[in-house]
Structure 1
Protein backbone atom coordinates (compact mmCIF):
# COMPACT_ATOMS: atom_id res chain seq x y z
CA UNK A 1 0.00 0.00 0.00
CA UNK A 2 1.12 3.52 -0.78
CA UNK A 3 0.26 6.97 0.49
CA UNK A 4 -0.84 9.21 -2.36
CA UNK A 5 0.13 12.88 -2.33
CA UNK A 6 -3.45 14.01 -2.84
CA UNK A 7 -6.61 14.51 -0.87
CA UNK A 8 -10.01 13.46 -2.11
CA UNK A 9 -13.40 15.14 -2.52
CA UNK A 10 -16.68 13.29 -2.90
CA UNK A 11 -19.29 15.25 -4.89
CA UNK A 12 -22.80 14.33 -3.68
CA UNK A 13 -25.96 15.61 -5.38
CA UNK A 14 -28.57 17.37 -3.27
CA UNK A 15 -32.32 17.67 -3.87
CA UNK A 16 -32.13 20.55 -6.39
CA UNK A 17 -29.95 18.38 -8.66
CA UNK A 18 -32.43 15.49 -8.37
CA UNK A 19 -35.31 17.88 -9.10
CA UNK A 20 -33.54 19.18 -12.24
CA UNK A 21 -32.67 15.70 -13.43
CA UNK A 22 -36.19 14.37 -12.90
CA UNK A 23 -37.64 17.45 -14.62
CA UNK A 24 -35.63 17.17 -17.84
CA UNK A 25 -38.17 16.55 -20.65
CA UNK A 26 -36.18 13.67 -22.18
CA UNK A 27 -35.87 11.84 -18.85
CA UNK A 28 -38.00 8.71 -18.77
CA UNK A 29 -37.00 7.52 -15.29
CA UNK A 30 -37.59 8.91 -11.82
CA UNK A 31 -34.42 8.84 -9.74
CA UNK A 32 -34.44 9.27 -5.98
CA UNK A 33 -31.90 11.40 -4.17
CA UNK A 34 -30.74 8.29 -2.30
CA UNK A 35 -30.02 6.48 -5.56
CA UNK A 36 -28.10 9.50 -6.90
CA UNK A 37 -26.02 9.69 -3.72
CA UNK A 38 -25.26 5.95 -3.66
CA UNK A 39 -22.48 6.15 -6.28
CA UNK A 40 -20.93 9.60 -6.40
CA UNK A 41 -18.09 11.24 -8.24
CA UNK A 42 -14.78 11.21 -6.36
CA UNK A 43 -12.00 13.56 -7.39
CA UNK A 44 -8.40 13.91 -6.31
CA UNK A 45 -7.42 17.35 -5.08
CA UNK A 46 -4.13 18.76 -3.81
CA UNK A 47 -3.01 17.79 -0.33
CA UNK A 48 -3.97 20.34 2.29
CA UNK A 49 -3.13 21.20 5.88
CA UNK A 50 -6.52 22.70 6.70
CA UNK A 51 -9.92 21.52 5.38
CA UNK A 52 -10.67 25.08 4.28
CA UNK A 53 -7.89 24.74 1.69
CA UNK A 54 -9.76 21.81 0.14
CA UNK A 55 -12.99 23.82 0.09
CA UNK A 56 -11.15 26.74 -1.53
CA UNK A 57 -9.87 24.42 -4.25
CA UNK A 58 -13.42 23.17 -4.88
CA UNK A 59 -14.57 26.79 -5.13
CA UNK A 60 -11.88 27.38 -7.78
CA UNK A 61 -13.06 24.47 -9.95
CA UNK A 62 -16.77 24.49 -9.06
CA UNK A 63 -17.99 25.53 -12.50
CA UNK A 64 -16.07 22.70 -14.19
CA UNK A 65 -17.35 20.23 -11.58
CA UNK A 66 -20.92 21.48 -12.02
CA UNK A 67 -20.73 21.08 -15.79
CA UNK A 68 -19.07 17.67 -15.46
CA UNK A 69 -21.90 16.45 -13.22
CA UNK A 70 -24.55 17.78 -15.62
CA UNK A 71 -22.78 16.27 -18.64
CA UNK A 72 -22.73 12.90 -16.92
CA UNK A 73 -26.49 12.85 -17.46
CA UNK A 74 -27.05 15.12 -20.48
CA UNK A 75 -24.46 16.38 -22.96
CA UNK A 76 -27.02 18.71 -24.55
CA UNK A 77 -26.21 21.99 -22.80
CA UNK A 78 -29.61 23.43 -23.71
CA UNK A 79 -31.06 21.09 -21.06
CA UNK A 80 -28.72 22.38 -18.36
CA UNK A 81 -29.80 24.99 -15.81
CA UNK A 82 -28.68 28.47 -16.82
CA UNK A 83 -27.57 29.41 -13.30
CA UNK A 84 -24.37 27.48 -12.69
CA UNK A 85 -22.87 29.96 -10.26
CA UNK A 86 -20.72 29.04 -7.27
CA UNK A 87 -23.68 29.70 -4.98
CA UNK A 88 -25.86 27.32 -7.02
CA UNK A 89 -23.12 24.68 -7.04
CA UNK A 90 -23.12 24.62 -3.23
CA UNK A 91 -26.94 24.55 -3.20
CA UNK A 92 -26.95 21.55 -5.55
CA UNK A 93 -24.03 19.55 -4.13
CA UNK A 94 -22.55 18.43 -0.84
CA UNK A 95 -18.80 17.95 -0.93
CA UNK A 96 -16.99 15.67 1.50
CA UNK A 97 -13.26 16.30 1.71
CA UNK A 98 -10.90 13.66 3.04
CA UNK A 99 -7.21 14.21 3.63
CA UNK A 100 -5.82 10.69 3.42
CA UNK A 101 -5.64 8.70 0.19
CA UNK A 102 -4.03 5.27 0.09
CA UNK A 103 -3.43 3.28 -3.07
CA UNK A 104 -3.80 -0.47 -2.46
CA UNK A 105 -2.84 -1.48 -6.01
CA UNK A 106 0.75 -2.11 -7.07
CA UNK A 107 0.10 -1.15 -10.71
CA UNK A 108 1.03 2.26 -12.09
CA UNK A 109 -1.70 4.89 -12.13
CA UNK A 110 -3.01 5.96 -15.52
CA UNK A 111 -3.95 9.57 -16.11
CA UNK A 112 -6.28 10.25 -18.99
CA UNK A 113 -7.37 13.88 -19.52
CA UNK A 114 -11.08 14.60 -19.49
CA UNK A 115 -12.44 16.24 -22.61
CA UNK A 116 -13.30 19.85 -21.83
Structure 2
Protein backbone atom coordinates (compact mmCIF):
# COMPACT_ATOMS: atom_id res chain seq x y z
CA UNK A 1 0.00 0.00 0.00
CA UNK A 2 1.12 3.53 -0.74
CA UNK A 3 0.37 6.96 0.64
CA UNK A 4 -0.83 9.32 -2.09
CA UNK A 5 0.11 12.99 -1.86
CA UNK A 6 -3.49 14.15 -2.16
CA UNK A 7 -6.55 14.50 0.03
CA UNK A 8 -10.08 13.46 -0.93
CA UNK A 9 -13.41 15.25 -1.21
CA UNK A 10 -16.66 13.31 -1.42
CA UNK A 11 -19.43 15.28 -3.14
CA UNK A 12 -22.87 14.15 -1.89
CA UNK A 13 -26.15 15.53 -3.23
CA UNK A 14 -28.60 17.12 -0.81
CA UNK A 15 -32.39 17.24 -1.11
CA UNK A 16 -32.31 20.40 -3.27
CA UNK A 17 -30.35 18.49 -5.95
CA UNK A 18 -32.79 15.57 -5.77
CA UNK A 19 -35.72 18.00 -6.06
CA UNK A 20 -34.22 19.59 -9.18
CA UNK A 21 -33.41 16.23 -10.75
CA UNK A 22 -36.90 14.88 -10.13
CA UNK A 23 -38.47 18.06 -11.54
CA UNK A 24 -36.59 18.03 -14.88
CA UNK A 25 -39.24 17.49 -17.59
CA UNK A 26 -37.24 14.74 -19.37
CA UNK A 27 -36.86 12.71 -16.16
CA UNK A 28 -39.12 9.66 -16.18
CA UNK A 29 -37.92 8.16 -12.89
CA UNK A 30 -38.28 9.27 -9.28
CA UNK A 31 -34.89 9.20 -7.54
CA UNK A 32 -34.57 9.22 -3.77
CA UNK A 33 -31.93 11.19 -1.95
CA UNK A 34 -30.61 7.96 -0.43
CA UNK A 35 -30.13 6.42 -3.87
CA UNK A 36 -28.33 9.54 -5.12
CA UNK A 37 -26.01 9.58 -2.10
CA UNK A 38 -25.26 5.86 -2.27
CA UNK A 39 -22.65 6.26 -5.01
CA UNK A 40 -21.16 9.74 -4.67
CA UNK A 41 -18.45 11.49 -6.65
CA UNK A 42 -15.00 11.39 -5.06
CA UNK A 43 -12.29 13.79 -6.19
CA UNK A 44 -8.64 14.15 -5.32
CA UNK A 45 -7.66 17.54 -3.95
CA UNK A 46 -4.32 18.97 -2.81
CA UNK A 47 -2.97 17.94 0.57
CA UNK A 48 -3.73 20.39 3.36
CA UNK A 49 -2.76 21.10 6.95
CA UNK A 50 -6.20 22.23 8.11
CA UNK A 51 -9.61 20.96 6.90
CA UNK A 52 -10.59 24.56 6.12
CA UNK A 53 -7.96 24.54 3.36
CA UNK A 54 -9.77 21.64 1.70
CA UNK A 55 -13.07 23.52 1.91
CA UNK A 56 -11.42 26.66 0.48
CA UNK A 57 -10.15 24.60 -2.45
CA UNK A 58 -13.68 23.31 -3.11
CA UNK A 59 -14.85 26.94 -3.09
CA UNK A 60 -12.26 27.71 -5.79
CA UNK A 61 -13.42 24.91 -8.10
CA UNK A 62 -17.14 24.81 -7.25
CA UNK A 63 -18.22 25.90 -10.76
CA UNK A 64 -16.47 22.90 -12.32
CA UNK A 65 -17.86 20.56 -9.66
CA UNK A 66 -21.39 21.92 -10.05
CA UNK A 67 -21.25 21.54 -13.85
CA UNK A 68 -19.77 18.05 -13.52
CA UNK A 69 -22.56 16.91 -11.20
CA UNK A 70 -25.30 18.42 -13.37
CA UNK A 71 -23.84 17.09 -16.62
CA UNK A 72 -23.59 13.59 -15.18
CA UNK A 73 -27.40 13.61 -15.43
CA UNK A 74 -28.11 16.04 -18.29
CA UNK A 75 -25.66 17.20 -20.97
CA UNK A 76 -27.99 20.03 -22.01
CA UNK A 77 -27.16 23.11 -19.89
CA UNK A 78 -30.58 24.59 -20.70
CA UNK A 79 -32.01 22.01 -18.28
CA UNK A 80 -29.65 23.08 -15.52
CA UNK A 81 -30.75 25.52 -12.81
CA UNK A 82 -30.07 29.18 -13.59
CA UNK A 83 -28.60 29.87 -10.15
CA UNK A 84 -25.30 28.01 -9.95
CA UNK A 85 -23.68 30.28 -7.38
CA UNK A 86 -21.34 29.19 -4.60
CA UNK A 87 -24.20 29.60 -2.12
CA UNK A 88 -26.40 27.30 -4.22
CA UNK A 89 -23.59 24.76 -4.57
CA UNK A 90 -23.35 24.44 -0.79
CA UNK A 91 -27.17 24.25 -0.52
CA UNK A 92 -27.22 21.42 -3.07
CA UNK A 93 -24.18 19.39 -1.94
CA UNK A 94 -22.50 18.13 1.19
CA UNK A 95 -18.74 17.82 0.85
CA UNK A 96 -16.75 15.50 3.07
CA UNK A 97 -13.04 16.26 3.23
CA UNK A 98 -10.62 13.46 4.11
CA UNK A 99 -6.90 14.05 4.57
CA UNK A 100 -5.49 10.57 4.08
CA UNK A 101 -5.49 8.66 0.79
CA UNK A 102 -3.96 5.22 0.49
CA UNK A 103 -3.54 3.41 -2.82
CA UNK A 104 -3.96 -0.33 -2.26
CA UNK A 105 -3.27 -1.24 -5.90
CA UNK A 106 0.30 -1.90 -6.97
CA UNK A 107 -0.08 -0.40 -10.45
CA UNK A 108 0.34 2.97 -12.10
CA UNK A 109 -2.60 5.37 -12.12
CA UNK A 110 -3.96 6.42 -15.50
CA UNK A 111 -5.08 10.03 -15.85
CA UNK A 112 -7.35 11.46 -18.52
CA UNK A 113 -8.80 15.00 -18.48
CA UNK A 114 -12.55 15.42 -18.17
CA UNK A 115 -14.18 16.67 -21.32
Structures share fold, TM-score greater than 0.5: yes
Unmatched segments (≥5 aa) in structure 2: none
Q: Please tell me whether residue 31 in structure 1 is matched to residue 64 in structure 2.
A: no
Counterpart-to-counterpart distance in 1, 2:23 and 2:82: 14
CA-based RMSD of the aligned residues comes to 0.3
Whether 2:2 is the aligned partner of 1:5: answer no
CA–CA separation in structure 1 for the residues paired with 2:78 and 2:35: 25
Unaligned 5+ residue runs, structure 1? none
Partner of 2:22: 22
Indicate the residue corresponding to 2:93 in structure 1.
93
Segments ≥4 residues shifted beyond 2 Å? none
Q: What TM-score, normalized by structure 1, do the two folds share?
A: 0.99
Residues 5-62 of structure 1 show CA distances to partners (whole Å, capped at 9, x for unaligned) of 0000000000000000000000000000000000000000000000000000000000
5 Å-filtered alignment, 1:1-116, equals 1-115=1-115
Q: What TM-score, normalized to structure 2? A: 1.00
- Measured against aligned partners, the alpha-carbon deviations of 1:47-87 in whole angstroms (never above 9, x if no partner) come to 00000000000000001100000000000000000000000
Tell me the distance in 2 between the aligned counterparts of 1:84 and 1:61.
12
